[in-house]
C-alpha cells in the first residue's frame, strides 16, 4: 500500500503534477479580469457610482497581471525554456496561447488604458515633483506633455475604445484559462464546455470583491471617508454576478448528477470525502452562501452605514476565499482521483519547497505590495475628495 493512496490508481498518478502554484494562476488571472470588468462598468457602461474605484480597479488589475505568470514560471520543470512558448508556439495547444493573450492584455489593454487615464496627472507630477520622482514621471510621460483640452479629448476617446476592446479581452483572458482545463477530455472533473464561462463569472466575482475590499482598506489607511453610494453599487454588482456564477456552478452540478456517467460515482465520493472541507464547507457554505446571504440582505433591507460596511467587507473577504477554494477544488480536485476511476491519491502542500506554501504566500502578497506602490506612484484619488478622481 502506498501512503495516501486509496483503492487503485495508475502507478504514475501517485504524485500530483499541478500543485498550489497552479491553483494561484487561475486565481490571480481571475482577479485581473474581474477588476478590469469592474473598471469598465464606469468607463463603458457609465455606472457613475463606481467612479471612485475606477482607477483603483485598473491598478489592481495591473498589479495582479504583473504577478500572474510568476506561479507558472516557478512551476515549470525548465523555467529557462519558457520563452519557447512565444518563439515556437504549438498551435494546437490551449496553453501555448497564454503568452499572447497575456501580452495582448498587458500591453494593448491595461497599460495603454492606465497611461491614457493618468496622462494628465503624470504630466502635472513631472512638473511639480523634484529629484528621482520627477525623473520617473518624466519617463512615464513617454515624451508627450500635451495636456490641452483637445489632447485630453482624444485621450478620452482612445481610452474608451481601448476599454471596449478590453472587455472582450478580459473575457478572453479568463475564459481562456477555463478552456485550458475544460478542454481536457481525459479528466471528467475538468472536461466541460461550461468551464470557461464558470471561470469567467467567478473571475468577475473575485475581482469585484478584491477591489471592494481594497477600496475599503485604502480609505481606512488614508483616513478618507468611504463613498457609500459607490460601495452599495459595487456590492449590488457583486451580488448579481455572484448569483449568475453560483447558478452556473449549480447547473454544472445538476447536469453531472442527472447524467451520472461512469465518472460520477468516483467524483461524488471524492466530493463527500477528500473535497468535503474545501468544497462543501469552504467554497459553497462559507465562501458562497454566506456572502450571498450578506449581499442579498442588503438588497432587501436598509442597514446602517456601519453595519453595511462590516457586511460588505465580510462578504468580499469571504468571496475571495471562496473563489480561491473553487480554484483549489478545480485544480487539485481534478488530480485526486485516478483516471481509472478506481482510487484516490492525496495532495500534501510542501512548506519551504519551490512549489510550497511559502512561495504561494509570497506570490499572493506580491500583487498587494505592487498595488500599494502603484497607488503611491499614481494616486487614484485626490486627497480629501474620495468620491472624485483627480482628473475630471
Residues binding other proteins (CB under 8 A): 8-15, 17-18, 72, 75-78, 81-82, 84-85, 88-90, 92-96, 98, 180, 183-187, 334-335, 338-342
Give whichever of 11 and 149 is closer to other proteins, judged by the CB atom: 11
Question: With contact defined as beta carbons under 8 Å apart, do 331 and 23 qualify?
Answer: yes
Q: How far apart are CA 296 and CA 180, in angstroms?
A: 33
DSSP assigned state of 175? H
The CB-of-345 to other proteins minimum distance in angstroms stands at 11
Q: How far apart are CA 87 and CA 72, in angstroms?
A: 17
Give whichever of 256 and 339 is closer to other proteins, judged by the CB atom: 339
Scanning the structure block, which residue is given the C-alpha cell 503611491?
A: 376
Give whichever of 14 and 377 is closer to other proteins, judged by the CB atom: 14
Give whichever of 96 and 372 is closer to other proteins, judged by the CB atom: 96
Q: What b-and-e string marks burial along 86-116, b requiring 16 or more CB atoms within 10 Å of the CB? A: eeeeeeeeeeebbbebbebbbeebbebbbbb
Give whichever of 34 and 71 is closer to other proteins, judged by the CB atom: 71
The CB-of-327 to other proteins minimum distance in angstroms stands at 16
Give whichever of 82 and 133 is closer to other proteins, judged by the CB atom: 82
The CB-of-341 to other proteins minimum distance in angstroms stands at 6
Question: With contact defined as beta carbons under 8 Å apart, do 37 and 205 qualify?
Answer: no
- Cβ neighbours around 302 below 10 Å, total: 8
Report the candidate in 161, 119, 162 with the shortest Cα–Cα distance to residue 140: 119
Residues near 184 by Cβ (< 8 Å), separated by ≥ 6? 190, 191
Phi first, then psi, for residue 93 (nearest 5°) are: -90, 130
The CB-of-8 to other proteins minimum distance in angstroms stands at 4
The CB-of-171 to other proteins minimum distance in angstroms stands at 22
The CB-of-174 to other proteins minimum distance in angstroms stands at 18
The CB-of-329 to other proteins minimum distance in angstroms stands at 16
Terminal-residue alpha carbon distance, the chain: 68
Ordered alpha helix ranges (H), 68-148: 69-75, 84-87, 98-103, 112-128, 131-140
Question: With contact defined as beta carbons under 8 Å apart, do 42 and 54 qualify?
Answer: yes
Would you give the distance in Å from CA 76 to the centre of its chain? Answer: 21
Give whichever of 94 and 286 is closer to other proteins, judged by the CB atom: 94
Question: With contact defined as beta carbons under 8 Å apart, do 368 and 378 qualify?
Answer: no
Report the candidate in 115, 112, 103 with the shortest Cα–Cα distance to residue 65: 103
Q: How far apart are CA 254 and CA 246, in angstroms?
A: 12
Q: How far apart are CA 43 and CA 34, in angstroms?
A: 14
The CB-of-317 to other proteins minimum distance in angstroms stands at 31
- Cβ neighbours around 285 below 10 Å, total: 12
The CB-of-266 to other proteins minimum distance in angstroms stands at 10
The CB-of-98 to other proteins minimum distance in angstroms stands at 8
Give whichever of 85 and 123 is closer to other proteins, judged by the CB atom: 85
Q: How far apart are CA 389 and CA 117, in angstroms?
A: 10
Give whichever of 186 and 306 is closer to other proteins, judged by the CB atom: 186
Give whichever of 1 and 300 is closer to other proteins, judged by the CB atom: 1
Amino acid at each position: 500500500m502506498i501512503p495516501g493512496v486509496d483503492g487503485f490508481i495508475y502507478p504514475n498518478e501517485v504524485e500530483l503534477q499541478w500543485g498550489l502554484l497552479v491553483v494561484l494562476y487561475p486565481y490571480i488571472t481571475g482577479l485581473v479580469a474581474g477588476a478590469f470588468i469592474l473598471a469598465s462598468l464606469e468607463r463603458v457602461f457609465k455606472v457613475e457610482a463606481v467612479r471612485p474605484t475606477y482607477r483603483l480597479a485598473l491598478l489592481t488589475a495591473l498589479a495582479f497581471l504583473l504577478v500572474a505568470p510568476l506561479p507558472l514560471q516557478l512551476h515549470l520543470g525548465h523555467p529557462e525554456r519558457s520563452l519557447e512558448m512565444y518563439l515556437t508556439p504549438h498551435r494546437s495547444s490551449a496553453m501555448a496561447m497564454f503568452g499572447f493573450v497575456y501580452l495582448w492584455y498587458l500591453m494593448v489593454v491595461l497599460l495603454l488604458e492606465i497611461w491614457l487615464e493618468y496622462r494628465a496627472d503624470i504630466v502635472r507630477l513631472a512638473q511639480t515633483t523634484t529629484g528621482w520622482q520627477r525623473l520617473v514621471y518624466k519617463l512615464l510621460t513617454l515624451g508627450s506633455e500635451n495636456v490641452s483640452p483637445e489632447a485630453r479629448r482624444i485621450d478620452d476617446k482612445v481610452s474608451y475604445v481601448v476599454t471596449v476592446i478590453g472587455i472582450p479581452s478580459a473575457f478572453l483572458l479568463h475564459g481562456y484559462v477555463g478552456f485550458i482545463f475544460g478542454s481536457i477530455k481525459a479528466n471528467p472533473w475538468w472536461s466541460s464546455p461550461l468551464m470557461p464561462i464558470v471561470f469567467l463569472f467567478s473571475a468577475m466575482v473575485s475581482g469585484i470583491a478584491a477591489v471592494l475590499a481594497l477600496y475599503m482598506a485604502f480609505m481606512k489607511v488614508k483616513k478618507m471617508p468611504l463613498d457609500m453610494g459607490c460601495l452599495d453599487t459595487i456590492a449590488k454588482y457583486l451580488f448579481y454576478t455572484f448569483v449568475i456564477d453560483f447558478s452556473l456552478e449549480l447547473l454544472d452540478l445538476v447536469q453531472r448528477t442527472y447524467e451520472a456517467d461512469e465518472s460520477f460515482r468516483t467524483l461524488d465520493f471524492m466530493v463527500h470525502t477528500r473535497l468535503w472541507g474545501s468544497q462543501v464547507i469552504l467554497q459553497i457554505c462559507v465562501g458562497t452562501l454566506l456572502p450571498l446571504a450578506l449581499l442579498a440582505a442588503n438588497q432587501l433591507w436598509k442597514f446602517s452605514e456601519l453595519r453595511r460596511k462590516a457586511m460588505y467587507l465580510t462578504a468580499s473577504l469571504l468571496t475571495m476565499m471562496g473563489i480561491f477554494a473553487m480554484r483549489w477544488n478545480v485544480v487539485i480536485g481534478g488530480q485526486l482521483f485516478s483516471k481509472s476511476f478506481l482510487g484516490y491519491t492525496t495532495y500534501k502542500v510542501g512548506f519551504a519547497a519551490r512549489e510550497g506554501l511559502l512561495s504561494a504566500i509570497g506570490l499572493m502578497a506580491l500583487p498587494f505590495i505592487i498595488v500599494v506602490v502603484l497607488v503611491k506612484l499614481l494616486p487614484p484619488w485626490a486627497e480629501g475628495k474620495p468620491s472624485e478622481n483627480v482628473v475630471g
